[in-house]
Chains A and B, each alone.
Chain A
Amino acid sequence: MEIFSNMLIYFVIIPVLTLAGLALTKNKGIDAIRAVAVTGATALVALAIYLVVVFLHARAAGDTSDMILQTSVTWYEPLNIKLALGVDGVSVVMILLSAFIVFAGVFASWKMDPLPKQFFLWFFLLSTGVFGFFISVDLFTMFMFYEVALIPMYLLIGVWGSGNKTYSAMKLTLMLMGGSAFLMLGLIGIYFHSAPEGQPLTMNILEIAKNDAIPHQWQYYLFPLTFVGFGVLGAMFPFHTWSPDGHASAPTAVSMLHAGVLMKLGGYGCFRIAIFLMPFAAQQLGWIFLTLTGISIVYGAFSACVQTDLKYINAYSSVSHCGMVLFAILMFNKTAMTGAVLQMLSHGLMTALFFALIGMIYGRTHTRDIREMGGLMHIMPYLGVGYVIAGFASLGLPGLSGFVAEMTIFVGSFEHQDMFRRVLTIAATTSIVITAVYILRVVGKLLYGAVQDEHHRTLTDADATERISTATLILAVAIIGCFPNFFIDIIRDSFTPVVKALTSVM
């Protein structure tokens, strides 16, 4: 079993072991459950950091292959389906992000009730899917892990959610599954054109890209299928409506994981599969999706301006920010794509932070309606400051992650030669103002001003676990914001193959 000699597989094994450990715990033994969960999450973080080190070593040692730590073991021999692992810079940072958010999520759901055991079971099943998706380079396994990551959402929201939870859970699951239906068709199409006549078909992304055998007229069908399939998860206009309801009803940790990691699967897949494997169609049809994503950037921001539910505001701002991710990916140059990945990181962290804080505030005030709250800064300064920091990150304050990501995206996109893309970029830049508008609106209504509800005066500030989870995220946001080059150096070269493929079909 040479597969176990590859460290990547342990990103799947650790969550599975955690699942097993949780399964062994008693329903009542809350401490044991927490212990197992924290252990699993910590192990993941450690492994992720170690992976970064390994990656940097490999690159420093002059390993210039597209992916490192590649392993491929046959799984379904007749269909040439393999369990193929491998990571490049993008997957490495994505794994790091996921690990961090899982870690923070565990702490954010410390007091989860009822059925904490089942909650963590689903939680870790979800993270299994996420990590599996990021480490695999085989279409089939990627798709499998993708769906593994999707389905726990239903119960996580349905059982532990709030508000109109069953409706939202069903809507979210069905829309995402609808996306994956498109996706599956696209993948099947890719599979059957994965190799030139006579050679065996393959599911390995790298081989498919090497063969470059997908006929152009087929790409016209397959590219939209795959891109939309992932775009649904990337909250691309007009397929984003699951996001507000879903986030509004989801429990804190689930919103964190969903906005923080799951929505990234969309952008990652778009770049890794849709664009990488079908560069021709990407060049031809790119403008359509570019327009759509451009719309979702401004559209989401404007919609966020008038929401009154904290989670709706964040959901719509996620639509805007994730739109920026797809937008940048469709710019087809290294800088913009690097910006996209930075934006994924930044959005992942700060949205997770947002949802964590919202969850904590909601847990105290039992309302998410900003009209019923006010002056919370007087009462819970820690949470208030955290919220302000998250807000600044979101509206792109230098020194926090958002600024770096957005600037990279804008500069990269504007470097594009054709006028259409540059005009769209200008249009996209307006979002920084609108973002400021709605963020400051929330901060002003929620934290500043006089205390609205006298009952709130008795509320407490964050406790230890909450401080841990928020501090982790704030620290991460600040680190990315202050030392972006570290991440950029990891990411940038990963785009060499895709950019080469894109330019070759120009």
Chain B
Amino acid sequence: MDYSQFLMMPQEIGLLVVFLLVFLYDTFMPSKTLKGLPLFATIVFGIFTIFSFFPVQDGMAFGDMFESNKATWAMKNILNIGMFIVLLQSIKWANSDFVAIRRGEFYELMLLTLFGMYLMISGRHFLVFVIGLETASLPLATLVAFEKKYYESHEAAAKYVLTAVFSSAIMLLGLSFVYGITGTLYFSEIASSVQGDNSLLLIVALAFLISGVGYKLSLVPFHLWTADVYQGAPTMVTSYLSVISKGSAAFAFFVIMVQVFGAAYAQIWEWMLYAIIVITITVGNLFAIRQRNLKRFLAFSSISQAGYIMLGVVAANAVGMASMMYYILVYIFSNLAAFGVIAVIERKTGKVTTDDYNGLFKTNPWLAFVMMLAMFSLGGIPPFAGFFSKFFIFLGAAQTHNVAIYVLVFIALVNTIVSLYYYLLVVKAMFIRQDECAIPAFKSHWTEKAGLIICTLGIILIGLVSCIYTSLSDITTSLTSMFSMI
């Protein structure tokens, strides 16, 4: 066996090293120093994040089961950034009572799930993909149940794990059909061997597969777990769920659709996705309108955002891919900003509903400001990053020149108005509504501040500074082999 192929996966290895360091610290350091574990983990991961920006060499490894190229590299880096912000923000929370004793597990599991996502992104064989998927989702179940004292946390975990296993079962069934038809689970081989024939069985398999990944992306109608889990889980885990795992799943979804079914089945799955996107965005928005609990509210908003991300998949071209990764990046910053604010306030006061936020601007102007930026960015208001990502993903989708996609884009645009409505509701609560018993002014921990500042900078700069999108699109346009089949 050729060990040099491990060089293909420096990021995975780096991540494992970080995991091991944290694990060792957790295990062997004296218990009074454990208070420093969160900071330690964050710093180590931060270092890793920086190092993982070193370019990797392209190529396949492990019998073509594992691919590493610029796109995967970029995607992993995007996830790293998000992960780093999450860790940064979770330091204070991890040291709080009830959590402190298990803070080690928290970080280890987080890192493990991230490792699973790496596999999802880089896997070019369904076995690797499934393993990655499960590695990413099972630890999350335990993380969701992390708030030992709170019943909601466990209810959420139960719902999550049951539905997750169910969905993976469905997906595995679909995979088994794929295997039965093609006799292989390699992406490339499937693609070459399903040329032409569109048997009903394969369509069923496709539908099940989409449902399986759609579950992680929480696309309607596979989304129903989202709100409850987001609400019940610790806010840190919620933010992690909402951005990181969603982003990785979206990327993997893109790869599977384009590489595996891109050739003969583009028509079929694109139509499937049209339907799914329309109902996803619409239903997500409709639910979000009525939510008062901010975590639940962001859950539904993230559902409709997933719909927008899917537009990139529908595009199935270089621009679409670049726009999708860009969208995910922006989405990470915006959503983490929002969740960061929510987490801070929840940690301080335990309040999470919109009405609690009345008059927040009077008492905590900066928190309100960041929250507003996040809302505007999510709503796609210039000059914040969200506007650019939305515009580009629409551009990417509209590249494929049929009228249907214009209709799709139009529905999406109409939905942006609805989404703007409920994002503005939050702004209204913070800025316009007045309340005597508003949340009192308080100082947040410097780590939280740091996290929020990073997010704010991201929201403001990513759009105006064009180099990020440019480099992403350079990367995707270089992947000629990928889109050759479309």
Among A31-39, A174-182, A435-443, A455-463, the stretch in contact with B: A174-182
Q: How far is the CB of B364 from chain A (nearest CB, A)?
A: 14
A148 touches B383 (CB 8 A): yes
* Interface status of B477 (Cβ within 8 A of chain A): yes
| Cα A121 to Cα B271 with chains together (Å) | 46
| Cα A158 to Cα B469 with chains together (Å) | 35
Q: How far is the CB of A250 from chain B (nearest CB, A)?
A: 14
Q: How far is the CB of A431 from chain B (nearest CB, A)?
A: 32
| Cα A184 to Cα B410 with chains together (Å) | 9
* Interface status of B180 (Cβ within 8 A of chain A): no
Which one, B382, B417, B424, B477, contacts A178 given CB within 8 A? B417
A147 touches B470 (CB 8 A): no
B431 touches A181 (CB 8 A): no
Which one, B398, B424, B431, B466, contacts A188 given CB within 8 A? B398
B413 — which chain A residues lie within 8 A by C-beta?
181-182, 184-185
| Cα A170 to Cα B395 with chains together (Å) | 28
Among A59-67, A73-81, A94-102, A283-291, the stretch in contact with B: A73-81
* Interface status of B428 (Cβ within 8 A of chain A): yes
* Interface status of A166 (Cβ within 8 A of chain B): yes
Q: How far is the CB of B318 from chain A (nearest CB, A)?
A: 9
Among B54-62, B254-262, B386-394, the stretch in contact with A: B386-394
| Cα A79 to Cα B200 with chains together (Å) | 39
Q: Which of B371-410 contact A (CB under 8 A)?
A: 376, 381-383, 387, 391-392, 394-395, 398-399, 401, 406, 409-410
* Interface status of A50 (Cβ within 8 A of chain B): no
Q: Give the total of B residues in contact with A, Cβ under 8 Å.
A: 34
A78 touches B387 (CB 8 A): no
B424 — which chain A residues lie within 8 A by C-beta?
154, 170, 173
* Interface status of A155 (Cβ within 8 A of chain B): yes
Nearest neighbor of A184 in chain B, beta-carbon distance: B413
B401 — which chain A residues lie within 8 A by C-beta?
192
Q: How far is the CB of A33 from chain B (nearest CB, A)?
A: 16
B409 touches A159 (CB 8 A): no
Which one, A174, A181, A185, A192, contacts B399 given CB within 8 A? A192
* Interface status of A151 (Cβ within 8 A of chain B): yes
B7 — which chain A residues lie within 8 A by C-beta?
none
A174 touches B417 (CB 8 A): yes
Q: Which of B422-467 contact A (CB under 8 A)?
A: 424, 427-428, 431-432, 466
| Cα A182 to Cα B432 with chains together (Å) | 29
Q: Give the total of A residues in contact with B, Cβ under 8 Å.
A: 32
* Interface status of A140 (Cβ within 8 A of chain B): yes
A185 touches B406 (CB 8 A): yes
B427 — which chain A residues lie within 8 A by C-beta?
154-155
B406 touches A147 (CB 8 A): no
**Contact A184-B391, Cβ < 8 Å, known A147-B381, A174-B421, A192-B401:** yes
* Interface status of A189 (Cβ within 8 A of chain B): yes
A192 touches B398 (CB 8 A): yes
Which one, B395, B414, B477, contacts A181 given CB within 8 A? B414
**Contact A144-B394, Cβ < 8 Å, known A78-B319, A185-B410:** no
A76 touches B470 (CB 8 A): yes
A159 touches B431 (CB 8 A): yes
| Cα A189 to Cα B401 with chains together (Å) | 10
Q: What 1/0 mask marks residues of chain B from 18 to 34 whose CB sits below 8 Å from any chain A CB?
A: 00000000000000000
B473 — which chain A residues lie within 8 A by C-beta?
78-79
Q: How far is the CB of A126 from chain B (nearest CB, A)?
A: 12
Q: How far is the CB of A187 from chain B (nearest CB, A)?
A: 9
Q: Which of A75, A154, A165 has the most CB of B within 10 A?
A: A154
**Contact A76-B466, Cβ < 8 Å, known A166-B432, A170-B424, A185-B410:** yes
Q: Which of A155-214 contact B (CB under 8 A)?
A: 155, 158-159, 165-166, 169-170, 173-174, 177-178, 181-182, 184-185, 188-189, 191-192
Q: How far is the CB of B317 from chain A (nearest CB, A)?
A: 12
Nearest neighbor of A155 in chain B, beta-carbon distance: B431
B376 — which chain A residues lie within 8 A by C-beta?
151
Q: Which of B381, B421, B474 has the most CB of A within 10 A?
A: B381
B381 touches A151 (CB 8 A): yes
Q: Which of A65-112 contact B (CB under 8 A)?
A: 75-79
| Cα A168 to Cα B403 with chains together (Å) | 35
A75 — which chain B residues lie within 8 A by C-beta?
466
**Contact A147-B382, Cβ < 8 Å, known A184-B413, A185-B413, A189-B406:** yes
| Cα A198 to Cα B398 with chains together (Å) | 17
A79 touches B319 (CB 8 A): yes
Which one, A79, A158, A174, contacts B428 given CB within 8 A? A158
| Cα A333 to Cα B437 with chains together (Å) | 61
B391 touches A158 (CB 8 A): no
A181 — which chain B residues lie within 8 A by C-beta?
410, 413-414, 416-417
**Contact A170-B466, Cβ < 8 Å, known A151-B376, A185-B409, A188-B395:** no
* Interface status of B161 (Cβ within 8 A of chain A): no
A76 touches B469 (CB 8 A): yes
Q: How far is the CB of A482 from chain B (nearest CB, A)?
A: 40
A166 touches B428 (CB 8 A): yes
B420 touches A177 (CB 8 A): yes
Q: How far is the CB of B71 from chain A (nearest CB, A)?
A: 15
| Cα A147 to Cα B382 with chains together (Å) | 6
B420 — which chain A residues lie within 8 A by C-beta?
173-174, 177
B contacts, CB < 8 Å to A: 319, 322, 376, 381-383, 387, 391-392, 394-395, 398-399, 401, 406, 409-410, 413-414, 416-417, 420-421, 424, 427-428, 431-432, 466, 469-470, 473-474, 477
Known pairs A155-B431, A192-B401; list 12 more (Cβ under 8 Å).
A75-B466, A76-B469, A78-B322, A78-B469, A79-B473, A148-B383, A154-B427, A158-B428, A165-B432, A185-B406, A185-B410, A189-B406
16 A-B residue contacts at CB 8 Å?
A76-B470, A78-B474, A140-B391, A147-B381, A148-B382, A154-B427, A155-B432, A165-B432, A169-B432, A173-B420, A174-B421, A182-B413, A184-B394, A185-B410, A188-B409, A191-B395
A contacts, CB < 8 Å to B: 75-79, 140, 143-145, 147-148, 151, 154-155, 158-159, 165-166, 169-170, 173-174, 177-178, 181-182, 184-185, 188-189, 191-192
